[in-house]
Structure 1
């Protein structure tokens, strides 16, 4: 890896919000088509709406009937989505994701350009397809930079990464 690539790998996460975790993800050599990128933006925005909508904020927390109804609706949507969509883009892998790119454990380089297939939420099992560029091997995995994201998709991705970061920090404080 050249010095420029090493600098790029460091720039992915240094000084930027990122989240460490395990997600269903995979890579494929063919880049995603424009319709897949549009769907990715819509899916990330939908995930944000579902995850950010808290019953407490609407004054519904005190009503057990509404909580049960919401839980039933969540379960029905989850089952419907799993019946309609494939189970996910592969196995769960350890990864670090940031607004500029990601590090994935144990996935070797396949081509300089690829498509990331990622299930960013357990709440809605939607798979997003994002274009990535291989930067180089790093600590038992590979570093990939997002490339060519439209501003709306980039903003939606940034919100999801921030939400994942906030959630991992909160779970770290609890344990």
Structure 2
């Protein structure tokens, strides 16, 4: 069981909390996701650069997995990498973003996936800004944005049971 950080009813990130993996059939994922989201999250696709709806988002909040709503990145770690994809220098918490070796397309990269549903998010590269020097390069299609004023909408019942 993965250990992730989740939001409580007050909008505070807490954890780690043990959670079950979100596992669905392709049919169930297709019913939930748009065709572009399915292609990116479930088939390791990539959106075209400079086209993602979240690339130029400057609002304060949290970027969540479009598949399972797991919090992934804070707007505080977002930066303009000039690459054409939303970029961050650190995940919101350990375990929420998982890294895997990716040897596709004749190159070696580090793929990043959601810690709860294994949805493909993008890749991480060692050319980011301080303090981590990492660039988590994301597809907008893999993300939902939640404004700071709405963080309580991400409250997860697992947090309540873990705190009792």
Q: Would you say same fold, with TM above 0.5?
A: no
Please identify which structure carries the higher strand content. Answer: 2
TM-score normalized with structure 1 length: 0.28
The structure whose Rg is larger is 1
Please identify which structure carries the higher helix content. Answer: 1
